[in-house]
Chains A and B, each alone.
Chain A
Amino acid sequence: MRRRTALTAVVTVTTALALAGCGQESTDDPAPGQAGGKPTVCLVMKSLANEYFQQMQTGAVTHVKERNDLTLDSSGTQNETDVDGQVALVESCITKRARAIVIAPADSKALVQVVAKAVKADIKVVNIDVKLDDGALQQAGVEVPFVGPDNRDGARQSGKVLADLLGKGGKVVILEGNPGADNATQRKNGFNDAVSEGGLTLLDSKTAHWETDEANQVFASMLTAHPDIQGVLASNDSMALGAIKVIQERKANVKVASFDNIPAVKEHLQSGVMVSTLDQYGSKQAADGIDFAMKMIGGEQVTGWQKTEIKLITKDNVGS
């Protein structure tokens, strides 16, 4: 009986897959990637649960409405590190025969393979947010333009504000993002640049996985272990918020330099506990990427790193 059930299951699944395959072929679009004459551009993002990517998507949608010469097909993964999920998203873009793909890779190396597949399928690919690994791209034999901010430079700028304030010998700690994430590495490098350029003393550097609660705990221990901390370099605003709670609770004289510029930090910039954060105009990034993608569809050659605007935010320009 059990064996028969297994057999039935196998037959059912096979049939279902076969039917699905047929269905796909029969509905195949005669003019691939053109809906109503407009080219389709796929926007593949990381987790839309992240406020940052949410803004990016909103920006892209608005921008596309303004341009009105393409159809946008945007999608995001379940979480920031869902590499498999993102590969599947790109694959479905290839299947849908999009004309171009704009992608914010969840991993700078793991996505190269499928991106190369897209390029070879004659789909224009524009890389935004985190740069795909050069070595891996070279190995795959493809070239993909990168449109995005310079995270390292941004972090250096934000950190410099703190360094200037504290002066030589100022004692600081770094709160890192997810170990292994490219933007986390870039920001950490940028902060380290600021530390060495400004002659600061780095007491500790630990990850709090981008999270408020964890940053709160990690920084509390740091401050206990080093009561003389003068500054925190937080790789994103969520972690900065967690650290600021500790600072307020202990009435410590510690300043924070951060990154992202989410609305929740505005009051802290005004109150002075946060001295700087960095806006990389996430909402514009995807829009820029789409612009470049359209140029490429139009036959233009786009290569290399097209840096997007970043802006240092301090008490002076945060507004009220």
Chain B
Amino acid sequence: MAVLEVSGLTKRYPGVTALDAVDLDVRPGEVHVLIGENGAGKSTMVRCLSGIERPDAGGMTLYGERYQPDSAADALQAGVRVVHQELALLPNLSVAENLFLHHLPHRAGVVDRSALNRMARDLLTEVGLDLSPRTPVERLGIAQMQLVEIAKALSGQCRLLIMDEPTATLTPKETGRLFEILRRLTATGVAVIYISHHLEEIFEIGDRVTVLRNGKHVTTQEVAGLTTAELVRFMVGRDLAHEYPPVRPRELGAELLRVTDLKITPAAPSLSLAVRAGEVVGVAGLVNSGRTEAMRAIFGADRSASGRVEVRGRPARLRHPRTAVRAGMSFLTEDRKAQGLVLDLSIAANMSLANLPAVSRFGLLNRAAEAASASALAEKLRVASRGVRQHVRALSGGNQQKVVLGRWLAADTDLLIVDEPTRGIDVGARYEIHQLLLDLADAGKGLLVVSSDLPELLGICDRIIVFSRGAIAGEVPRAEFDAERVLNLAYSGYLKGVAV
């Protein structure tokens, strides 16, 4: 008997049919992969399965019983566990409290903290997160939060596990660990629905794959026997000749950014790096290796940092993002929901946020100009929407990512720092975004690209700086690109730690 059977599932949003009579069946112990372009309807499917949205038509059965969840609590009750695409942790509570929020261990109504922390520590160890369960969630980086979300889904009884892009910010180390857990779970008969834009993962973990396109079911197949090219064709309806655009040799210009003796905190190791005009510099490292913190510090997002940052030879103070933007820097944050998007404003408003002078005069907005420039960008980035006046909240995750990216493209600064630029973006659009980034470099801009997706860095960068344990462990020029070498550098700081 199938674990889950979905038939004719339909969900309409104003102006768009997100799911159009989709069928799906999930067998016990299988990892069923769901793929599709940005806006294809994957997350909508997840929201229907988890009781957050009520479908307009169609039925679901869970282990043969009618399944019609009205709320997230219903789904939980039925043993359906979900890791959503966007993080939904409570920032002020501790990791442990977040993990067990729905079933806090207690004695006569009083929370049993020692039991809570013990259980939390076990779970964290399982997902490979070396962290005190008492840490408030707001102090975590996005990958750590993602791991907490995963751990949360594993806390408690589970018959069907649904994961919506759990690995978008994870490095291979964490991903590997997650797959081990999934294999262990499926061995006990638990079924998994798994969504990812990293196609190589499908071959590693998937048993069957279902492809959605424009809300419609395209095909369901056994993974074994499929090729990447076939998958891509199912997804985007056309062939993708190359995974990465060609990197043309570029003339490097003057030094755009020089960072000297940057210290995130007074006790942290000091960091130095430089970016030249026309250069694409990759930043690699494991989760929590200090990459994001360093970028934030360069941009002046955190006050506690010290050191010298020069843009075009002129010192820029690390006080406030405003100074950084004025000096000609852009910064695409890794967490689009918390630090990037203004969900209740339109696509156009979000895209102009870092570039308001260009669409205004004497402090008055020129809304026509704003809409025009946003439309052009949306076209370029292939944002699937009902027009640039639509609220960002109603966009799919990948399309939201394109909007934040669009904001910084609009700002048109000399130096772009992009943290996980293609997080949640489908293979087709990925190629185009990579092309866009390379075009910028061709036009003489400097780029710092942070990514947990090593092939991405190897695909588009001129050199890669590798972070390990808060310090720069080394640098690899394009001529010597080699995944092994980068990974070894990324681990080096930790190995030293063990040796001592």
Q: Do chains A and B touch in the complex (CB under 8 A)?
A: yes
> What does DSSP make chain A's interface, helix, strand, loop or mixed?
helix
Cβ contacts A1-30/B at 8 Å (1 or 0 each): 111000000000000000000000000000
Cβ contacts B131-155/A at 8 Å (1 or 0 each): 0001000000000000000000000
Q: From residue A5, how far is it (CB to closest CB) to chain B in Å?
A: 13
Q: Does B113 contact A (CB under 8 A)?
A: yes
CB neighbours of A3 from chain B (8 A):
113
Considering the complex, give the chain B residue whose CB is closest to the CB of A2: B113
Q: From residue B20, how far is it (CB to closest CB) to chain A in Å?
A: 50
Q: From residue A43, how far is it (CB to closest CB) to chain B in Å?
A: 49
Considering the complex, give the chain B residue whose CB is closest to the CB of A1: B134
Q: From residue A6, how far is it (CB to closest CB) to chain B in Å?
A: 12
In angstroms, Cα B134 to Cα A1, docked, is: 9
In angstroms, Cα B134 to Cα A2, docked, is: 10
In angstroms, Cα B113 to Cα A93, docked, is: 47
CB neighbours of B113 from chain A (8 A):
2-3
Q: How many residues of B contact A (CB 8 A)?
A: 2
Q: In B464-483, which residues have CB < 8 Å from any A CB? A: none
In angstroms, Cα B326 to Cα A306, docked, is: 79
Q: From residue B132, how far is it (CB to closest CB) to chain A in Å?
A: 10
Q: In B109-140, which residues have CB < 8 Å from any A CB? A: 113, 134
In angstroms, Cα B110 to Cα A2, docked, is: 13
In angstroms, Cα B422 to Cα A164, docked, is: 89
In angstroms, Cα B117 to Cα A3, docked, is: 14
In angstroms, Cα B357 to Cα A194, docked, is: 72
In angstroms, Cα B105 to Cα A96, docked, is: 51
CB neighbours of B134 from chain A (8 A):
1
In angstroms, Cα B113 to Cα A2, docked, is: 10
In angstroms, Cα B134 to Cα A3, docked, is: 13
In angstroms, Cα B79 to Cα A53, docked, is: 68
In angstroms, Cα B280 to Cα A121, docked, is: 86
In angstroms, Cα B473 to Cα A223, docked, is: 85
Q: From residue A2, how far is it (CB to closest CB) to chain B in Å?
A: 8
In angstroms, Cα B113 to Cα A1, docked, is: 10
Q: From residue B72, how far is it (CB to closest CB) to chain A in Å?
A: 27
Cβ contacts B157-191/A at 8 Å (1 or 0 each): 00000000000000000000000000000000000
Q: From residue A1, how far is it (CB to closest CB) to chain B in Å?
A: 7
Q: From residue B90, how far is it (CB to closest CB) to chain A in Å?
A: 16
Considering the complex, give the chain A residue whose CB is closest to the CB of B113: A3
Q: From residue A95, how far is it (CB to closest CB) to chain B in Å?
A: 38
CB neighbours of A2 from chain B (8 A):
113
Q: From residue B299, how far is it (CB to closest CB) to chain A in Å?
A: 33
Q: From residue A8, how far is it (CB to closest CB) to chain B in Å?
A: 16
In angstroms, Cα B342 to Cα A280, docked, is: 63
In angstroms, Cα B114 to Cα A3, docked, is: 11
CB neighbours of A1 from chain B (8 A):
134
Q: From residue A225, how far is it (CB to closest CB) to chain B in Å?
A: 45
Considering the complex, give the chain B residue whose CB is closest to the CB of A3: B113
Q: In B429-464, which residues have CB < 8 Å from any A CB? A: none
Q: From residue A284, how far is it (CB to closest CB) to chain B in Å?
A: 59
In angstroms, Cα B113 to Cα A8, docked, is: 18
Q: From residue B470, how far is it (CB to closest CB) to chain A in Å?
A: 25
Q: From residue B111, how far is it (CB to closest CB) to chain A in Å?
A: 10
Q: From residue B18, how far is it (CB to closest CB) to chain A in Å?
A: 43
Q: From residue B120, how far is it (CB to closest CB) to chain A in Å?
A: 14
In angstroms, Cα B111 to Cα A2, docked, is: 12
In angstroms, Cα B113 to Cα A3, docked, is: 9
Considering the complex, give the chain A residue whose CB is closest to the CB of B134: A1
Q: From residue B232, how far is it (CB to closest CB) to chain A in Å?
A: 51
Q: From residue A319, how far is it (CB to closest CB) to chain B in Å?
A: 58
Q: From residue A89, how far is it (CB to closest CB) to chain B in Å?
A: 40
Q: In A248-272, which residues have CB < 8 Å from any B CB? A: none
In angstroms, Cα B7 to Cα A84, docked, is: 66
Q: From residue B341, how far is it (CB to closest CB) to chain A in Å?
A: 33
Q: From residue B78, how far is it (CB to closest CB) to chain A in Å?
A: 34
Considering the complex, give the chain A residue whose CB is closest to the CB of B94: A2
Q: From residue A144, how far is it (CB to closest CB) to chain B in Å?
A: 49
Q: From residue A96, how far is it (CB to closest CB) to chain B in Å?
A: 43
Q: From residue B47, how far is it (CB to closest CB) to chain A in Å?
A: 35
Q: From residue B203, how far is it (CB to closest CB) to chain A in Å?
A: 46
Q: From residue B382, how far is it (CB to closest CB) to chain A in Å?
A: 49
In angstroms, Cα B94 to Cα A2, docked, is: 11
Q: From residue A240, how far is it (CB to closest CB) to chain B in Å?
A: 49
Q: From residue A109, how far is it (CB to closest CB) to chain B in Å?
A: 40
Q: From residue A3, how far is it (CB to closest CB) to chain B in Å?
A: 7
Q: From residue A4, how far is it (CB to closest CB) to chain B in Å?
A: 11
Q: In A77-114, which residues have CB < 8 Å from any B CB? A: none
Show 3 A/B contacts (Cβ-Cβ < 8 Å), sorted by A. Answer: A1-B134, A2-B113, A3-B113
Q: Which 3 pairs show the lowest CB-CB distances between chains A and B?
A: A1-B134, A3-B113, A2-B113
Give A contacts to B, CB under 8 Å.
Answer: 1-3
